[in-house]
Amino acid sequence: MAPQNNVNPLWKYFESSGNKPNGSHYITRCKACVGHHLEILSEEARTAAKDVILDAGAEMLAARARFEAAYQLAAPVRGEKTVFISHILGVGRSRKNACKYSGQDAIQEAESQVPKATTDTSTSGGKHSRSASSADSAKPVKKSKQPSISTHMYTGTEMPFSTVQIHAIHAQALRAVISANLPFHVYENPEVLKLISLLRSAGPAIMPSAKLVGGRLLNDAAEIVERKMQCVLKGRIDTGISADGWKSATKMAVNGLAINIDGKSYALDLVEITADDKHGIAMAMQFGELVDRVEASYDCTVVYFTTDSDGGAKKGRILLGKERPWMLVPSCWAHQFQLILGDYFKVYPYAAHIAEQATDLIGWVNNHGKVHKIFDDTQMRITLGRTGRASVLSYLVANLTRWTTHCVAFMRLLAVQLALQHAVAELRPAIIKAQVCVATSTEGRRLTADAEAHCNLIEDRSFWNGLEQVVGDIEPICYGTNINQKDSTRLDEILLTLAGMYLHFSDHPEPEVVLGMQKRLEKRWKDCDQQLFILALVLNPFEGLSRFGESAGLNHLKLNGMLLRLYRRINSRPTNTDGPAVRAEKERAVTSAFLHFLAMTGPFASWLTDAADFPSTDPIVVWTAFRSIPELAELARFAITLLKVVANQAGVERVFSDLKIGADIKAEHQRLGIAKKRGKRKIHDSTATLLAVPRYCDLLGDLDAEDETERGRMLVNSADGWRTEMARWIGAAREADKAEELEYDDDFADDAGAPSTVAWKPITLATLFGGIVAAKRKSMRMPAMEVDEEAALMAALADIEEDARLDAGAIEIDSDEEFIQ
């Protein structure tokens, strides 16, 4: 690098592009001009961002983008001394077009380098005359050559880092660790450091240690997320909290907490409760303290609190509702629908047997490669003859972490029924031979009997009829479980789903299934706060009273009384400063607006004709529009609050799979378009596709387990696996029944000494929805797009499993022995 005194001082006022179009001079920009444009762009960015907080890495990238834009806005200047002077001082004595933004130091430096005007005093005697003293005058000093700008520039890989860049790189290093689920010590790995040094030689020296990543950087990132949470929640009066507990990898009892706002869950806290009491009273105290802390820390109002119905969580939630009657305390209905699946197999053993046979058949095909090939060839032949295009559908395997996969796996088996039956009818001996291969004696007889049994099952028409019945029965249950795991599932959607299940099983051809499922569905419906769900459905402008049966008995006065009781309950919060007169006036406004809504008169008179043209089918959007009408504002606020209640814990499970910072990073990727939101996928690379879905990602981790006995334990691909899973479902349903019976007894004892209030007599599902014609029933079929999406993910998983699966009876040779002569 050349000494600094050899570089013209004017260079420090110009930014070089490193580009020499004429081979001699660099193209530059005046730093003062760039700074002017940068200040304008920065102010625009601050105005657009408002309260959005960016992490250090994102802020650095944004600042770099603004600088590049400002650089392009500034006029280019040729990197030469006289041009620099002309740009700063302007042209001529009037200094025309002088730079408006150059500082005084730049102007003084330019003026000091302006060439001095010289006077020629020599005598001129003619064209060729010379001065008499010219011989004695000193020879002109040779102008020193200005060194190239490249002599005082770093090469790209040698460029050092500024303090701001180091801070941003540290912050981004933490985000990369969390987003990619890397260990904290990744930047201490010699090979990683070697890779970084290839990109920038100064890189390894500034990479953070494991202690720094897991210490200050993690704390700084958590503080940024906390500030974002404060911005999101500040002043909100419609938030809800959900809680769920599980065992950590270290066997500690952990309680995860998430807060829901506008149909989106945010991780709130992760509490270690191994040594804490788990009974109802202790849980109620913990929940109450949590609500107080959240409301105080984030300046928001918690409207509802959701848990599942297990152990002390249910009792604690109920006690919380009694101590704070203004809070709504619904149970998790995603969990309830999972238990209903266990209820179904418990009351219908025939369905459990068919499902076991179907699972065993799928596993048999997948576990015998030669047999699999015969069925695939038959599929190709049939599809080629029918459509002119040969195609092969894979045999999907259900997994324990996604409830819809059980239904989709059986749907796929029905889709390949014809190919299986044709193959068995035409190639039965070849199928048996493909399984038996060269096995003899006892093993040969066992494999032959196994192949014969599965061929007989494929030919058994009663099996396929039973499978169609099972798919038809579990589809509404899986559909209900699926839609009720969204962060935005409303109470009215839960009630319609439950009603759809009730009506489906009421029409079941088997009397024991009708009675058994009606009893269990009624029991789960009776156990919840029914008024919340009924009012949410009534307040849905697209539904109203249209979904209820003739025997529901929900007249306008009864519904108005129900609504007023809930309105008073929610507004009994101690922080409500309204006096008796104001409250009475608001109640009259709510009653008037609600009666107009039920009768579709007054401000709602045109809704029946305008509903079809409304740009959204979301009732919250509709009530937000109604809120602008003064006489409807109070009812609209109440309706929006009720319709924003989310009665599930799925958000807790999802956001805590990434924890707070990881979820924040993923959300930012989706906002910026770096990561796509989940949608219909095309399968190109199986592993990459599955890693995009959290629960499939967990399943892949299980498939990679070092213990071979543990691999694939999440997959249900055998009769034994299905029996184990079915026993778990039924066991969970029984435990839930017992727990609910005990809790009911405790609640009854608690209520015995409680002050008398207006009693609510539970309404049965049969009363509410009995006698509804098929045209008015909610469809309980899984949307075709969801079935295709789930099937694509299952197929991707099957591709990966296929590579690792051995044929039944095959022996895997150790790689070191494979080529021994």
Instruction: Give tens-digit pLDDT for 389-409.
Output: 988 988 888 776 566 788 888
Count CB neighbours of 768 within 10 A.
24
Lowest mean pLDDT among 7-16, 169-178, 351-360, 751-760: 751-760
The residue to which tokens 């801070």 are assigned: 167
Q: Express each pLDDT in 611-659 by its tens digit.
A: 888 999 999 999 999 999 999 999 999 999 999 999 988 777 666 555 4
| pLDDT number for residue 810 | 44
Beta strand 239-247 with 76-78 is: unpaired
Residue 724 and residue 734: Cα distance in Å, rounded?
Answer: 15
Q: Name the amino acid, one letter, at 119.
A: T
Quote the tokens at residue 156.
């790209």
- pLDDT category at 732 given cuts 50, 70, 90 is low
The answer to whether residue 178 is domain-embedded is: yes
Q: How many domains does the chain have?
A: 4
Quote the tokens at residue 338.
């999972």
C-alpha closest to that of 729 among 251, 331, 356, 330: 356
- pLDDT category at 731 given cuts 50, 70, 90 is low
Terminus-to-terminus CA distance in the chain, angstroms?
63
Residue 91 and residue 407: Cα distance in Å, rounded?
Answer: 81
Q: Express each pLDDT in 739-758 by its tens digit.
A: 555 554 454 334 333 333 35
| pLDDT number for residue 94 | 73
What Å distances lie between residue 318 and 314, 527, 756, 801, CA to CA? 6, 11, 17, 45
Q: For residue 424, is pLDDT > 80?
A: yes
Among 117-131, 266-280, 632-646, 679-693, the range of highest mean pLDDT: 632-646
Lowest mean pLDDT among 81-95, 331-345, 676-690: 676-690
Q: For residue 562, is pLDDT > 90?
A: yes
| pLDDT number for residue 2 | 37
Residue 488 and residue 190: Cα distance in Å, rounded?
Answer: 46
Q: Which of 626, 645, 664 is the last residue of a domain?
A: 645
Greater pLDDT, 728 or 644: 644
Greater pLDDT, 706 or 538: 538
662 and 618 in a single domain? The answer is no
Instruction: Give the percent of the chain with pLDDT over 70.
Output: 73
Q: Which residues contact 153 (CB under 8 A, 6 or more apart)?
A: 16, 18
The answer to whether residue 311 is domain-embedded is: yes
Q: Express each pLDDT in 763-787 by its tens digit.
A: 999 999 887 655 555 555 656 666 6
**DSSP state, residue 647:** -
Which neighbouring-strand residues pair with 399? 715
656 and 602 in a single domain? The answer is no
Contact 320, 241 (CB under 8 A): no
The answer to whether residue 608 is domain-embedded is: yes
601 and 567 in a single domain? The answer is yes
Lowest mean pLDDT among 41-55, 167-181, 356-370: 41-55
The residue to which tokens 């008169």 are assigned: 601
Residue 739 and residue 797: Cα distance in Å, rounded?
Answer: 37
| pLDDT number for residue 54 | 64
C-alpha closest to that of 171 among 136, 142, 213, 209: 213
| pLDDT number for residue 765 | 92
- pLDDT category at 553 given cuts 50, 70, 90 is confident
**What are residue 599's phi and psi, to 5 degrees?**
-90, -10
Contact 266, 487 (CB under 8 A): no
Lowest mean pLDDT among 40-44, 226-230, 473-477, 803-807: 803-807
Q: Name the amino acid, one letter, at 485.
A: Q
282 and 301 in a single domain? The answer is yes
**What are residue 398's phi and psi, to 5 degrees?**
-75, 155
Greater pLDDT, 178 or 760: 178
C-alpha closest to that of 317 among 245, 236, 238: 245
84 and 8 in a single domain? The answer is yes
Q: Which residues contact 612 (CB under 8 A, 6 or more apart)?
A: none
The answer to whether residue 72 is domain-embedded is: yes
| pLDDT number for residue 733 | 55
H-helix or E-strand containing 716?
strand 715-716
597 and 659 in a single domain? The answer is no
- pLDDT category at 238 given cuts 50, 70, 90 is very high
DSSP-based three-state secondary structure for 118: coil
Greater pLDDT, 621 or 271: 621
185 and 204 in a single domain? The answer is yes
Summarize the confidence of residues 652-679 as an average pLDDT.
Answer: 52
Q: Which of 636, 658, 679 is the last residue of a domain?
A: 679
Domain that residue 317 falls in: 234-329+649-679
C-alpha closest to that of 493 among 458, 542, 453: 542
The residue to which tokens 């798919």 are assigned: 471
Q: For residue 326, is pLDDT > 80?
A: yes
The answer to whether residue 212 is domain-embedded is: yes
Contact 261, 196 (CB under 8 A): no
Sheet holding 239-247, edge to edge: 264-272, 253-261, 239-247, 302-306
Count helices and strands (H / E) in the chain: 32, 9
Contact 794, 409 (CB under 8 A): yes
Residue 807 and residue 644: Cα distance in Å, rounded?
Answer: 52
| pLDDT number for residue 495 | 93
Q: Which of 114, 135, 169 is the last residue of a domain?
A: 114
Greater pLDDT, 443 or 484: 443
Which neighbouring-strand residues pair with 305? 241
The answer to whether residue 17 is domain-embedded is: yes
206 and 238 in a single domain? The answer is no
The residue to which tokens 């400002």 are assigned: 70
572 and 668 in a single domain? The answer is no
592 and 655 in a single domain? The answer is no
The answer to whether residue 385 is domain-embedded is: no
623 and 565 in a single domain? The answer is yes
Q: For residue 503, is pLDDT > 50?
A: yes
Which neighbouring-strand residues pair with 240? 260, 304
DSSP symbols for 54-65: --HHHHHHHHHH
DSSP-based three-state secondary structure for 41: helix
Locate all alpha helices (DSSP H) within 120-188, ordered by sequence: 163-179
Summarize the confidence of residues 407-419 as an average pLDDT.
Answer: 92
Q: For residue 496, is pLDDT > 80?
A: yes
Summarize the confidence of residues 525-540 as an average pLDDT.
Answer: 94
Residue 406 and residue 394: Cα distance in Å, rounded?
Answer: 15
Quote the tokens at residue 50.
């408002």
The residue to which tokens 């309980």 are assigned: 780
| pLDDT number for residue 53 | 64
- pLDDT category at 795 given cuts 50, 70, 90 is low
Average pLDDT, the chain: 78
Residue 266 and residue 232: Cα distance in Å, rounded?
Answer: 10
| pLDDT number for residue 140 | 58
For the entire predicted model, the pTM comes to 0.69
Summarize the confidence of residues 447-469 as an average pLDDT.
Answer: 94
Sheet holding 14-16, edge to edge: 14-16, 27-30, 76-78
Residue 117 and residue 96: Cα distance in Å, rounded?
Answer: 20
Q: For residue 678, is pLDDT > 50?
A: no
The answer to whether residue 742 is domain-embedded is: no
Instruction: Measure CA 617 to chain center.
Output: 23
Contact 820, 516 (CB under 8 A): no
Contact 175, 55 (CB under 8 A): yes
- pLDDT category at 199 given cuts 50, 70, 90 is confident
Rama region for 272: left / alpha / beta (φ>0; ψ in -120 to 50; rest): beta
Domain of 257: which CATH number? Answer: 3.30.420
| pLDDT number for residue 240 | 94
Residue 109 and residue 12: Cα distance in Å, rounded?
Answer: 11
Q: For residue 106, is pLDDT > 70?
A: yes
- pLDDT category at 96 given cuts 50, 70, 90 is confident
Summarize the confidence of residues 136-159 as an average pLDDT.
Answer: 53
Q: For residue 541, is pLDDT > 90?
A: yes
H-helix or E-strand containing 653?
helix 650-672
Task: Give the CA angle between residues 681, 684, 685 to the nearest 5°.
Answer: 110
202 and 101 in a single domain? The answer is no
